[in-house]
Structure 1
Amino acid sequence: MNGPEVLDIGREGFFVLIKMLTPVMVVGLGVGLIVALFQALTQIQEMTLVFVPKILAIFITLMLVLPFMGQALATYMNQIMALVIQGQG
Structure 2
Amino acid sequence: MEDYILQVAREGLWLVLITSAPPLLASMGVGLAVSVVQATTQIQEQTLTFVPKLIAVFASLAIAGPWIGSQLVRFTHALFEGFPNYF
Partner Cα separation in structure 1 for residue 69 and residue 43 of structure 2: 39
Partner Cα separation in structure 1 for residue 18 and residue 71 of structure 2: 8
**TM-score, with structure 2 as normaliser:** 0.95
**TM-score, with structure 1 as normaliser:** 0.93
RMSD: 1.0
The residue type paired with residue 43 of structure 1 is Q
Identity over the aligned pairs, expressed in percent?
34
Partner Cα separation in structure 1 for residue 65 and residue 48 of structure 2: 26
* Unaligned residue ranges in structure 2 (runs of 5+): none
* Unaligned residue ranges in structure 1 (runs of 5+): none
Work out the number of aligned pairs and report it: 87
Structure 1 residue aligned with 2:20: 21
Structure 2 residue aligned with 1:47: 46
Matches within 5 A, 1:1-89: 1=1, 3-85=2-84, 87-88=85-86
* Structure 1 residue 19 displacement after superposition: 1.0
- Structure 1 segments, 4+ long, off by >6 Å, are none
